[in-house]
Structure 1
Amino acid sequence: MKLRSHSQSHIVELDEGSKWEIFPGDLDLTLDWKPETELTVIESGGEVSSHELIGGGAKVRARAAGESWPVKQVKDALKDG
């Protein structure tokens, strides 16, 4: 799948129409993503994110746009780096 839109730093839309919210600690990894960037979506089953987006030399944690982040797990992950 290719990146359709990355107009907000924390939201990406793929060419098949899905929208993903990027984990706050991984935003810097998406800065070089361009419309031609090929991305793969996989389920992660992690405590913080339900999915991972892989492409452009990066693997980032993500949730479907509109889903809530688990606050305690996010704080712990950001604190741990």
Structure 2
Amino acid sequence: MKIRSHSESHIVELEDGSRWQIFPGDLDLTLNWKPETELTVVEVEDEVATHELVGGGGKVRVRPMGESWPVRDIKDALKDG
């Protein structure tokens, strides 16, 4: 699925209209994304993310737009790298 909009570094909208919040620790992996970048949404069981966007050279942890990030788990994940 291609990117419809990625005007804010932490939010991406796909061509199906779904909007995703990108995990802060993965923002650097999105720097080379272009509108033609093909991404696949995969459901995952992760301490911080509910899904991953796979493509564009890697995997990026995401949550659907509007869902809250678990603050304690984010701090732990960012500390651990």
- Aligned equivalent of 1:11: 11
SS at match of 2:47: coil
**How many aligned positions are there?**
81
**Unmatched runs of 5 consecutive residues or more in structure 1:** none
How far, CA to CA, are the matches of 1:45 and 1:20 in structure 2?
16
Q: CA deviation at 1:58?
A: 1.3
- Aligned equivalent of 1:55: 55
- Aligned equivalent of 1:30: 30
- Aligned equivalent of 2:43: 43
Q: CA deviation at 1:47?
A: 1.2
Q: CA deviation at 1:23?
A: 0.1
- Aligned equivalent of 1:21: 21
TM-score computed with the length of structure 1 as normaliser: 0.98
How far, CA to CA, are the matches of 2:31 and 2:4 in structure 1?
15
Identity of aligned residues (%): 74
How far, CA to CA, are the matches of 1:58 and 1:6 in structure 2?
17
Amino acid aligned to 1:36? E
SS at match of 1:76: helix
